[in-house]
Structure 1
Amino acid sequence: MTSPDLRHHGDVDAAPGLADFAVNVRVPHPPDWLRARLAAALDDLGRYPSRHAEERAREAVARRHGREPDEVLLLNGAAEGFALLPKLRPRRVAIVHPGFTEPEVAFRDAGIPVEHVLLDGDFRLRTVEADVDLTVIGNPTNPTSVLHARNDLKKLPGRLVVDEAFMDAVPGEPESLAHDEDVLVLRSLTKTWGLAGLRAGYFLGDPDTLQRLAHGRPHWPVGSLTLEAITACCEPAALEASHRFAQEAEEHAAYATQQLGDLVVVPPKAPFLLVRAPKGAREALRDKGIAVRRCDTFPGLDDTYLRVAIRPPEEFAVFVDALRVVMEEAQ
């Protein structure tokens, strides 16, 4: 039986009525041009998702990453990708923690042994020795916001699965392995484009592996609106906008780091940061109307850590002011 704490995510912390610094979605809703694309696709909901729409979406993803269409597996959200991984039937899996917990849930529920590779200090990769045939890691890693170097990732033992759900928030994506044929890369489109409620993601990998992952999925696994969203978000205009968003996010991260100072554990490379605060700070912030992500559900962290979504300076100032009051009260 999987520990229920591993299924805890930021949306649970972000209760209605609270200022949301718990969920990592960049915007509360899709931009107008994307909403228009999705609205125009509503008239097709009376028909089943078409092969043409699926091929169009796969081709858009392939062009975006310089891959072939048969190296793309479209997903009903990146979380579905984690649920498919046990189909690879690894003997034993290493999961780098602190990190997103859904991969561990999937493997443990499938009865596949999991070994933790726990990082500490600055949460950067060091030499990893593990008797495994598959390793899973996030890059940038959730919740530490660390961006690992490509070369360090390639040294991990066994087959490598990299969760790049937040890579499009890094200007230029310098450490991405999306072009590497030997790596299985998972991508999400929901964070940057405000699509968490729609579910849209994809795998990049070799065709044989993707066929194994796809085997046994239900017919029409990805809906028409998701196919349209994937196509739209991989087109040149969207990629240009995504790059601008990443540069803007980098500026917002610099502001957040400057405001919080020594409370920030490592300089953030994703649209969230890991903060060290006194015990009880999360509950105290909640009492003041602020929601942040608890971190004691991540292996390797305890309740003195908080994950905080980075927002524009005028919004982030609300969190900073509330945290200062909580820190003063704690003293």
Structure 2
Amino acid sequence: MDPEAVESVEQVPHGGVDDPTVLDFSANTNPERPPGVVGVYDAALSVARRYPSDYCEFRTAAAETVDCEPRSVIPTPGGLAAIRLALSVTVRPDDRVLIPAPSFGEYAREVRLQGGDPRHLHHDELLDADPIDYAVVVVCTPNNPTGEAADPDRLREFAARCRETDTVLLVDEAFLDFTELPSLAGEPGVVVARSLTKMYGLPGLRVGFAAATGDLRERLDTARMAWSLGTPAAEVGTHCLEQTEFVEKTKKRVDRERKRMRMSLSRQFDVYPSDAPYLLLDVGRRDVSDVVDAARAEGIAIRDATTFRGLDSHVRVAVKREHENDRLLDALADV
């Protein structure tokens, strides 16, 4: 991290509310969690007097999830920690980094913290860019907040072009497990960042990982903090990654509810197509704050998406369970 950059870099706004009486559609986490999590956590807490091991079981479970070698997996305390770790070993001061827009605001912030120069390009155009002038290119798939996933064939072709120019490709797959698309983990010259926060509904536990091969893998493993996951986080993460039935059930629910919500919301708003557990809405000539306030008056929080670069008339809503989604649809029906 560049000490001189820290003074000029600000925090990035995020969704999520602390009030337990509010139904939160502003953060895109699963409202359900896998069975058995509490028991696994309690059992792990009893052995937390010792330092964590080498995370062998976690690496194996993660590798099976993204179809790579266990050695390629680098445990991190959340997906954002994987992104910071990747940028810390690939970006030098004044390096240019290509990032999508609109997209997750932390990319630009993390690049700046390394002293790098973030350059924005519309996410739809990014895979057509020439990577030669960049130290790193960041791809978010599915993109947040728009929801579209990158075509895997085009993404692999772009990864090949990045290798030709010695440009590292950082792929944020925080929401990819809500799709049927393959991970890019194990592809040479690529760092994949994964989060267990979204699918498994455990944002406060902070579990994730990076995946890379060759020299990239060695640099990530050297630079990562020792004991990067606490024992409870590692044990719960391993348990969650093994819950394939839970994942399939969640994907079916999200797909069904997303289609239903999009059809209903399209009567009033321009709704973006999505492969993710959220929908981006263009509210048109309405004031975004009025839409956010109208939902809040009904005890519901939605995300003001004007904090994303290039969006000025948008809100983002999560896809939750049927009865919760019904409350959102009712709250926005007359806005």
TM-score category of the 2 structures, normalised to the smaller one: 0.7 to 0.9
Query: What's the secondary structure of 1:146's corresponding residue?
Result: coil
- Report whether the alignment pairs 1:19 with 2:20: no
The answer as to whether partners of 1:295 and 1:305 remain within 8 angstroms in 2 is yes
Match for residue 319 of structure 2? 310
Match for residue 34 of structure 2? 31
The verdict on how the C-alpha distance between 1:225 and 1:193 changes in structure 2, with shifts beyond 3 A counting, is: same
The answer as to whether partners of 1:189 and 1:195 remain within 8 angstroms in 2 is yes
Query: What's the secondary structure of 2:60's corresponding residue?
Result: helix
Paired AA for residue 15 in structure 2: G
The answer as to whether partners of 1:168 and 1:192 remain within 8 angstroms in 2 is yes
Rounded to whole Å, the distance in 2 between the matches of 1:168 and 1:286 is 30
Rounded to whole Å, the distance in 2 between the matches of 1:222 and 1:198 is 10
Paired AA for residue 80 in structure 1: A
String of CA shifts for 1:60-105, please: whole Å, max 9, x gaps: 2223333222211011111111221132125210001111111211
Query: What's the secondary structure of 1:114's corresponding residue?
Result: strand
CA-CA distance at 1:169 after TM superposition: 0.8
Structure 1 moving runs of 4+ over 6 Å: none
142-151 vs 155-164, which deviates more? 155-164
- Report whether the alignment pairs 1:96 with 2:97: no
Match for residue 146 of structure 1? 148
Paired AA for residue 60 in structure 1: A
CA-CA distance at 1:297 after TM superposition: 1.5
The answer as to whether partners of 1:14 and 1:20 remain within 8 angstroms in 2 is no
The counterpart of 2:202, out of the listed 186, 191, 195, is: 195
CA-CA distance at 1:177 after TM superposition: 1.7
- 5 Å-filtered alignment, 1:174-253, equals 174=182, 176-235=183-242, 238-253=243-258
Rounded to whole Å, the distance in 2 between the matches of 1:314 and 1:65 is 32
The counterpart of 2:14, out of the listed 9, 13, 27, is: 9
CA-CA distance at 1:270 after TM superposition: 0.5
- 5 Å-filtered alignment, 1:131-170, equals 131-153=133-155, 154-155=157-158, 158-170=167-179
The answer as to whether partners of 1:257 and 1:264 remain within 8 angstroms in 2 is no
- Report whether the alignment pairs 1:271 with 2:277: yes
Number of equivalent positions: 312
Provide the aligned C-alpha RMSD in A: 2.1
Query: What residue ranges of structure 2 are gaps of 5+ in the alignment?
Result: 1-7
CA-CA distance at 1:139 after TM superposition: 0.3
Q: TM-score, normalised by structure 1?
A: 0.87
The counterpart of 1:289, out of the listed 291, 294, 299, is: 299
Identity, % of aligned positions = 32
CA-CA distance at 1:10 after TM superposition: 0.5
Paired AA for residue 294 in structure 1: D
The answer as to whether partners of 2:265 and 2:271 remain within 8 angstroms in 1 is no
The verdict on how the C-alpha distance between 1:72 and 1:56 changes in structure 2, with shifts beyond 3 A counting, is: same
Match for residue 3 of structure 2? none
Query: What's the secondary structure of 1:161's corresponding residue?
Result: strand
The verdict on how the C-alpha distance between 1:129 and 1:217 changes in structure 2, with shifts beyond 3 A counting, is: closer
CA-CA distance at 1:56 after TM superposition: 1.9
Match for residue 78 of structure 2? 77
- Report whether the alignment pairs 1:258 with 2:259: no
The answer as to whether partners of 1:168 and 1:243 remain within 8 angstroms in 2 is no
Q: TM-score, normalised by structure 2?
A: 0.86
Rounded to whole Å, the distance in 1 between the matches of 2:97 and 2:125 is 20
Rounded to whole Å, the distance in 1 between the matches of 2:220 and 2:270 is 38
Query: What's the secondary structure of 1:180's corresponding residue?
Result: coil
Paired AA for residue 88 in structure 1: T
CA-CA distance at 1:275 after TM superposition: 0.7
Query: What's the secondary structure of 1:32's corresponding residue?
Result: coil
CA-CA distance at 1:197 after TM superposition: 0.6
Rounded to whole Å, the distance in 1 between the matches of 2:240 and 2:186 is 18
- Report whether the alignment pairs 1:298 with 2:308: yes
The counterpart of 1:319, out of the listed 311, 320, 328, is: 328
The answer as to whether partners of 1:97 and 1:300 remain within 8 angstroms in 2 is yes
